[in-house]
Amino acid sequence: MSKIFDAYRKKVGGLTDLSLEIGKAGSISLYPSPQGNQKEDFNKLANRLLGLRMENRGTVLSFASSAAGEGASFVSYNAAMYLATVYHQKVAWVDANFMNPQTKLLGRDRNAFSSLLKDPDKVDDLITSDNPMLIAGGGNLHEARGLVADRRYGELLSNLTRRFDFVILDLPPVLNSTDTALMAAGSDGFLLVIEQKYLKVEVIEHGIQGLRDKGVLLLGTVINRRTYDLPKIIYDRL
């Protein structure tokens, strides 16, 4: 357990009840709250991400899977939730998945990601009462994908880091979109989400090499829906 987490426990007088904290999140819930061992796993993930926080600005972290259906949105969303509700960071979760935008956020086109790409100064107009703040992709998200190669994308991320401690980007699958590496390169670090039952080393290595070729800083991988061939207590002692 890190020194940051130890200091946090001393401050609050013990370990926070995660289920209660999750209930205090923003007005829209995209996914059910993690259950069982997932609670501990997400707490550990958020704790490690907390150690990446910049001193003079917010930190931009990007998440994506190698292929569709591996749960990158679920992981990035809950990482944002835990950073916001358990560690009390000011967090923005951004739906930047051009391939499959969040349907629950459709209709929230005002100050959506697609609109902010066109005019990064609109970040100053964001009402940040919810934490984490969910920034929708926008109804015209697919049409705005070309703007990530524009200087305004960098300006948008810079503006967001002035208002948030963490900016979490949910990106399209690595093997499905060339935009993923481009957007991830603009972040402070990238996490690749893998679903264990679909684990194919050759495919993953190909995707990782493509990211590195674009200058992406790969922080590590998150194995989603992990299964244990041996009792979990044995893995914990390895």
What is the arithmetic mean of pLDDT over 116-141?
Answer: 89
pLDDT of 171 reads 95
- The total of other beta-carbon atoms located within 10 Å of residue 99's CB is 15
pLDDT of 232 reads 42
Does the residue 23 lie in any domain? no
Tens of pLDDT, residues 175-205: 888 889 999 999 999 999 887 665 567 667 7
Tens of pLDDT, residues 16-31: 443 333 333 445 788 8
Does the residue 11 lie in any domain? yes
Q: Is 149 left (phi over 0), alpha (psi -120 to 50) or beta?
A: alpha
Does the residue 199 lie in any domain? yes
Does the residue 185 lie in any domain? yes
Looking at residue 122, which CATH number applies to its domain? 3.40.50.300
Whether residue 5 contacts residue 47, with contact meaning beta carbons closer than 8 Å, is answered with: yes
Contacts of 12 (CB under 8 A, 6+ apart): none
What is the arithmetic mean of pLDDT over 125-133?
Answer: 88
Q: Nearest-5° angle of CA 31, CA 78, CA 8?
A: 145
Per-residue CA distances from 111 to 38, 128, 131, 237 (Å): 32, 12, 16, 47
Domain that holds residue 72: 3-18+30-98+106-237
pLDDT of 228 reads 43
pLDDT of 196 reads 60
Does the residue 24 lie in any domain? no
Does the residue 114 lie in any domain? yes
Does the residue 172 lie in any domain? yes
State the residue for tokens 């200087």.
151
Does the residue 64 lie in any domain? yes
pLDDT of 178 reads 81
Tens of pLDDT, residues 34-79: 888 888 999 999 999 999 999 999 999 999 988 888 889 999 999 9
Domain count, the chain: 1
pTM score over 0.85: no
